[in-house]
Amino acid sequence: MNDPVDKGHEPIKYLRPRRPFPLKLIFWVFALWTALGWLRFGRAVGEAELILDLLGLRLFGYLLLAGLTWGLLGLPVLWGLLRRAHWAPLLIQAAAVVYPALYWIERLLLWQDPFVQRNWPFMLLLTGVWFGLVAWGLGVARTRTFFSKRDERG
């Protein structure tokens, strides 16, 4: 008698909340960093002979390790964002600090090109914008409910 189908209505379906815009941006930044890490790793393996001849074993090992680290670090973050895992915000915070830290350590200790050093204020600004994006994305009220909602499929 009170069946919604009898009245011409469709039953209410479970809808997952949409991913907030700042989380979409965070997802795509981590996807880019992950892809760049795997590209660096792949290029280091592919150009191993040249790198070993020009730069030596230590820098070759560094390029392999850095590419592997950048490539692997982003995978659990991307997985957590896709699965809406309750642990994803904590992992996002940690990885959001590690990626820029690795970049700045590499930039300050390894880069020797004087022309590249001229854009450090822009990169510092970009790093600040990144931290702001992460704070915004994780602080949005919808983001908190985004991670706490459980999918019916488990």
Residue 126 belongs to domain spanning:
21-147
Determine, yes or no, domain membership for 4: no
Question: Which tens digit of pLDDT belongs to each residue from 100-143?
Answer: 999 999 888 887 777 766 788 899 999 999 999 999 999 885 66
- Give the pLDDT confidence of 16-39 residue by residue, as tens digits: 667 889 999 999 999 999 999 999
Given phi > 0 = left and psi -120 to 50 = alpha, else beta, which region is 140?
beta
- Tally of domains in the chain: 1
Q: How far apart are the first and last CA of the chain?
A: 32
Q: What is the pLDDT of residues 76-91, one digit of tens each?
A: 999 999 998 889 999 9
Q: Is residue 8 part of a domain?
A: no
Residue 148 vs residues 87, 88, 103: alpha-carbon distances, Å: 10, 11, 32
| Largest Cα span, the chain | 82
Average pLDDT of span 61-70: 94
**pLDDT tier at 147, thresholds 50, 70, 90:** confident
In the numeric block, which tokens belong to residue 93? 């915070």
With respect to residue 44, please indicate whether it lies within any of the assigned structural domains. yes
Would you say the pTM of this structure is higher than 0.85?
Answer: no
> Is a pLDDT exceeding 90 seen at residue 99?
yes
Domain assignment present for 9: no
Domain annotation covers residue 63: yes
Q: Mind spelling out the 3-state secondary structure of the chain?
A: CCCCCCCCCCCCCCCCCCCCHHHHHHHHHHHHHHHHHHHHHHHHHHCHHHHHHHCCHHHHHHHHHHHHHHHHHHHHHHHHHHHCCCCHHHHHHHHHHHHHHHHHHHHHHCCCCCCHHHHHHHHHHHHHHHHHHHHHHHHCHHHHHHHHCCCCCC
Q: Is residue 49 part of a domain?
A: yes
Cβ neighbours, 10 Å, residue 113: 7
Q: How far apart are CA 45 and CA 47, in angstroms?
A: 6
